[in-house]
Amino acid sequence: MEDRRADGAKKRRRTAGDTVAACIKFARNGAGWITHPETGAQVWVEQRDLGTALPGDTVSVRLFHPAKGETAGRVEKVLERSERDIVGTLAGIGRFSCVIPLNPAYHRDFYVADTKGAKEGDRVVMRFVRWENRHVAPEGEITEIIGPASKPSLDTISVMKQYGLPEAFPEAAAEEAERIREIPDDARSRTDFRRKFVFTCDPAEARDFDDALSLERDGRGRRVLGVHIADVSRWIRRGSAIDAEAYERGTSVYLCDRVVPMLPEQLSNGVCSLLPGKTRCAMSVFITFDAKGVPVARSFARTLVRSSLRLEYSQLLEILRGGRLPGIAIAPENLERLRELGALARQMTANRKAAGSLEMELPEVSIKLDENGEISDVRTERPDDAHRLVEECMVAANEAVAAELRSRRVRSLARYHEKPDPDRLQELSGALRLAGVKTGDLSRPRAIPALLEKMKGSPLESTVSMQILRSMKRACYSSEESGHFGLAKTDYTHFTSPIRRYPDLTVHRQLAAILSGKSPKERPQYLSAAAKHCSEREQAADEAERALTEIKKFRFLAKQIEIGDLREYEAVVAKCTSAGAFIDIPDLAVGGLVHIADLSGAYVRFDAGRGELSAGRDAWSAGTRMRVRVKTVDIDARRADFVPAGGPDGGAAGRPARRQGNGGRKTSGAEGKRAGRGRRGRA
């Protein structure tokens, strides 16, 4: 992709007056990009064309059209600097002190004239001062000293400050939360569902429960799914201090050692949490399904519910597999309900896949930290029937609410995921061909789901899924567009997590107005601003979560080098270049490089046409499995190099596949399916 862009840059032809203003973002390879304000297309800006722009700046970009058609750009002027603080590590003391940013996307160290008492190696918060010449370092001013960068316990606060995450609720919001009563005055006007079997299912460590499920039969014997969501809108009035703070935060942020919640704990873990045995207010969606698992009717109600049972995913999975839970009393008819719900979820999954939904089973690694902030345990989570059951029910409820709002011509906040650009699909096809994967025409309907199905069980399954994901546009919130490409849904919104997402709270308010016979309309200007703000806050949350997890993982690898405890990992080659083999390590969800000099004691050749490295009878190409151990780690850059576990010559443990007639793409060892689960509701 980089070569193609460089080739296009040589053949630019200027289009007079074709200039746009937008916020610029940076990739780790040094390039930047903007989203075209009118077309929504991504416009890439090569590193040499960035001028003095920094991540988050608003810039004026001159557009060009290379011969191959993809629009490229060059920064003409920085219109407005980002106000975000920059967190980094102080290096050097004296005349040439500089701060190395924590975010690798900056690609520039900042000169600081005064260290403000910080010591070399300290993490600091810095404010941008000036940058007028791209050939000299930008300047910053230290505003706060966090502490030694070598101290893992300070990683979280560093990331929170980098991404502007709040540490406490304003006093007015906290006081409002303290005054909230457990049972509201309108309880009698609600549909009483407390005698029905309702259950929650969440991770073992969950503290808030904002969704519950039920399954009943109607008079015709059809299955009626009930999705019961905490009625947060009943407690949080528009314009209140809590509402203002919830809007500002936009979303809860799930860091690996803490949660930065959208709502005060009195709400999220108290009156809005569907705790077992507690009467709670809910917004309930009832969806009737036919024998094939197709929804045929929907209804909505403000209800009172009482959770009969709190299950963890592992417990629900045991029930779905026909087992029982020692020490937990569940009536036989309710066990049957749970298993019927599992069968319904399987039908819903099959129907979505038939419609063209993208089923990308990417691995999700969960980490546990010790009292010093270092990794004590790393686990790879894989999807199972229990997770899929809950996910399918949430997707069904989100779709039902979106369809209801559309049928009433109510403009709301849709969860929008548009189709990928044809240019990005061509790039994807080219990248996968280099990996030895034949894709066909990915612009054809359902071509991408077919490719994902074909790759299941392959060593490259996760690599291909990740490349497909990167070729897609981000899902976002929109007040004007609707439809979700990834889920193959015409109508889709976010409704099921108002405790942790502000758009869900907005949709709840509109549905509550409909049920009360009031107008559900919101001002278009408000919806447009809310969609933009909440999309930005979600992206910042995603980046913060990913940044902290990466820092912890690279500290974990660096510690292995420090104490001489080099663990071996199963790795899969993602691609080969003249530099070496780029690998993925599923058990850590980390990528890295095995340098060409470390692959073998013999001379290693690179065949660009085949995308293959070879040394004698040994060959490495996309899909080759190998065992590796870490060699070097750069925590600030979040980069690691690896070597074959058997040593520089490959050894028995690190030996690649022998050269085969297909170019060495067959791999040794068992090929198992790699899978994972994304956080609920991120779609």
Please give the Cα distance from 507 to 493 (Å, whole number): 8
Q: How far is CA 489 from the centre of its chain?
A: 20
325 and 408 share one domain: yes
pLDDT at 680 over 80: no
So what's the pLDDT on residue 183? 62
Tell me the percentage of the chain whose pLDDT exceeds 70.
90
546 and 626 share one domain: no
Mean pLDDT of 49-66: 91
Task: Collect all residues with Cβ–Cβ distance below 8 Å to 75 and sequence separation of at least 6.
Answer: 24, 32, 45, 49, 50, 51, 53, 59, 60, 61, 62
Mean pLDDT of 99-108: 92
Confidence of residue 430 (pLDDT cuts 50, 70, 90): confident
pLDDT digits (tens, 9 = 90+) for 307-339: 999 999 999 999 999 988 888 889 999 999 999
Mean pLDDT of 355-376: 87
pLDDT digits (tens, 9 = 90+) for 118-137: 999 999 999 999 999 999 99
142 and 272 share one domain: no
Residue 463 lies in a domain: no
Q: What is the 3-state secondary structure (H, E, C) of 297-353?
A: EEEEEEEEEEECEEEEHHHHHHHHCCCCCCCCCCCHHHHHHHHHHHHHHHHHHHHHH
pLDDT at 666 over 70: no
344 and 320 share one domain: yes
- DSSP-based three-state secondary structure for 219: coil
Supply the pTM of this predicted model: 0.88
377 and 264 share one domain: yes
Residue 429 lies in a domain: no
269 and 363 share one domain: yes
Q: Looking at 51, 80, 109, which one is the last position of a domain?
A: 80
Residue 414 lies in a domain: yes
265 and 346 share one domain: yes
Residue 179 lies in a domain: no
Q: Looking at 551, 581, 604, which one is the last position of a domain?
A: 551
643 and 522 share one domain: no
Residue 438 lies in a domain: no
pLDDT at 668 over 70: no
Burial 621-659 (b: 16+ CB within 10 A, else e): bbbbbbbbbbbebebbebebbbbbbbeeebeeebbbbeb
Q: Cβ(496)–Cβ(229) under 8 Å?
A: yes
Q: Looking at 162, 181, 206, which one is the last position of a domain?
A: 162
Which tokens in the block code for residue 595? Answer: 């340098």
- DSSP-based three-state secondary structure for 354: helix
pLDDT at 543 over 90: yes
Q: Name residue 607's amino acid.
A: D
Strand 223-230 relative to strand 279-289: parallel, antiparallel, unpaired? antiparallel
pLDDT digits (tens, 9 = 90+) for 585-610: 988 999 999 999 999 989 999 999 88
pLDDT at 2 over 50: no
500 and 358 share one domain: yes
653 and 533 share one domain: no
Query: How many domains would you assign to the chain?
Result: 4
Tell me the percentage of the chain whose pLDDT exceeds 90.
69
So what's the pLDDT on residue 35? 86
Confidence of residue 465 (pLDDT cuts 50, 70, 90): confident
Confidence of residue 656 (pLDDT cuts 50, 70, 90): low
Confidence of residue 435 (pLDDT cuts 50, 70, 90): confident
So what's the pLDDT on residue 8? 40
pLDDT at 384 over 50: yes
H-helix or E-strand containing 462?
A: helix 461-471
pLDDT at 515 over 50: yes
So what's the pLDDT on residue 307? 96
Residue 178 lies in a domain: no
So what's the pLDDT on residue 658? 46
Where in the sequence is the domain holding 584, given as residue range(s)? 566-677
pLDDT digits (tens, 9 = 90+) for 154-194: 999 999 999 999 989 999 999 999 988 766 667 788 999 99
Residue 561 lies in a domain: no
Per-chain mean pLDDT for the chain: 88
Residue 258 lies in a domain: yes
H-helix or E-strand containing 455?
A: helix 447-455
pLDDT digits (tens, 9 = 90+) for 229-242: 999 999 999 999 99
Q: Cβ(496)–Cβ(211) under 8 Å?
A: yes
413 and 372 share one domain: yes
pLDDT at 480 over 80: yes
Confidence of residue 674 (pLDDT cuts 50, 70, 90): very low
Largest CA distance in the chain: 82
52 and 103 share one domain: no
